[in-house]
Amino acid sequence: MGVPFEALIPYGIVVVMFGVTGAGLSVVKTFANDGKKARWNRDLWDRRYNSQLLHYRGAITNNQSCEVMERDLRLTGSLRGQSTNPEAPKGFEINNPWKVEKRMF
């Protein structure tokens, strides 16, 4: 005797929802990275802790951000954007993410 198809409907729903969730996660990751693949396995020299960048954009949720990504953010306004200009634009040298405290005395 065969299995009635009504018994397989919940399994079909679960499989479809896994597919919808995976596709949705892929779309969200692509959208968050300006249409590019997500970065993974960054080199250790590329990483450093920078809490000011975390609060500046709100786009990075972990405590390790990339110096190259920080530079790209200051150059183009996007964490994944890149510029083809061989020289930095005027004013980039004073566009520093570090905030200087005023002296107390």
Q: Is the pLDDT of residue 11 over 70?
A: yes
In a domain, 104, yes or no: no
Q: Do 45 and 88 fall into the same domain?
A: yes
CB atoms within 10 A of CB 18: 10
Q: Which domain holds residue 59?
A: 39-98
- What's the whole-model pTM score? 0.53
Q: Is the pLDDT of residue 84 over 50?
A: yes
Average pLDDT over residues 46-70: 52
Total count of domains within the chain: 2
| 105 inside domain | no
Shared domain check, 94 and 45: yes
Q: Are residues 27 and 54 in the same domain?
A: no
Measuring CA to CA, which residue among 68, 78, 83 is closest to residue 36? 78
- pLDDT: is 69 or 10 the higher one? 10
Q: Which two tokens stand for residue 91?
A: 């004013």
Strand intervals (E) in 1-105: 47-49, 64-66
| Residue in 100, 38, 25 with CA at minimum distance from that of residue 69 | 38
57 and 30 housed in the same domain: no
Whether residues 51 and 31 fall in one domain: no
